[in-house]
Structure 1
Amino acid sequence: MADVVSHHLWQSHFDAVRRGPSTFDAVALARARTALSEELGFAEPFILPPLLAEILEAGVLWCSRGVGERYAEFGWLGADMADVSRRYECAQYMPAGVPIAFDGGGGLYLLDARGGRNDGRQPVVWSHSGSLGWEDGDHRIAAVDFESFVHDESAV
């Protein structure tokens, strides 16, 4: 399957990977997709990028990488994506933004599902959790999709 990437390949794009017992199995994935659909107002279950689902199913809780003088952390939200969306009032401040990871410094990485985009290939954006928004200056594009986000170390 073309969308399936081995753990060795995606893991090689991070300097450190912290795993825990995997609680993001098929049942948790289905629940997360349903909760996100409800949060977004989608009729169909929300489709996570396949590589994100794979990382979460592998029990990955946190990753980091350094690129030159830049350093990035990714605290994956897993099954808590819809809950974080509610807590940070994404529906009000950043409608159709799907939080996927904290950056360790007050920011969130989100999937951009505006326009009802539900194909697992949403762009990844970053926004500070204290100023979430789609206005210029409130967010920046991190990558064209999740796979690029993981594979292109400059996409942070």
Structure 2
Amino acid sequence: MTIMNEIPEWLTLVSVEAGKRLGLPGPLVFPPELVTLAVEGIELIELEPSWTSDFPLPEFGFLAADMVDFYDDYEFSEWIPGAWPLALDGGGGFFCLDLRAANADGEIPVVWVHASNLGWGDDEAVRVAASLADLLSPSK
């Protein structure tokens, strides 16, 4: 379990800025797995290439303190409102939280979108996991 005083200051600032940009009543509460990545300083995770049947997921390059900059630079609020970028995939795509589909128990689905084709259309956003924990778990 993560102790609150272990959470890096930059993550708290990103949480506050994310809440503002997304129009939330307070800071964006990140999944515990993301907090663990931040606390442990993990920047890159190689994902199982066959995690889904036809969608390769080569890596999870954690954006860390740069999440706000990527959100602004790629105009997520305009092109894909309700998405928050978490990581790059190493091939021009983003892994994002789909905050439109967050459920009451705090589970937030993860979608993949290509940087050159941001949007919620069927040919743009691909749901890759029910949660960040599912995405980062090894295949069964």
TM-score (norm 2): 0.84
1:46 to 17, 20, 28: 28
Answer yes or no: is 1:86 the counterpart of 2:68: no
1:26, 1:63 → 2: CA distance? 20
Give % identity. 32
Supply the AA of the counterpart residue of 2:93.
G
Q: Structure 1 segments of 4 or more deviating over 2 A?
A: 65-71, 115-120
CA RMSD of aligned residues (A): 2.5
Residues 41-94 of structure 1 deviation map (CA, whole Å, 9 limit, x = unaligned): 111110000011101210111111343595511110111111111111000000
Residues 2-40 of structure 1 deviation map (CA, whole Å, 9 limit, x = unaligned): xx7xxxxxxxxxxxxxxxxxxx94322210100101110
- Report SS of the residue matched to 2:47: strand
**Count of residue correspondences:** 133
- Report SS of the residue matched to 1:43: coil
Structure 2's unaligned 5+ residue stretches are none
1:51, 1:63 → 2: CA distance? 12
Answer yes or no: is 1:30 the counterpart of 2:16: no
- Report SS of the residue matched to 2:120: coil
* Residue 15 of structure 1: aligned partner: none
Q: CA separation of 1:119/1:82 partners in 2, compared to 1, >3 Å: closer, same or farther?
A: farther
* Residue 82 of structure 2: aligned partner: 96
* Residue 115 of structure 2: aligned partner: 129
Structure (1 or 2) with the greater strand fraction? 1
Structure 1's unaligned 5+ residue stretches are 5-23
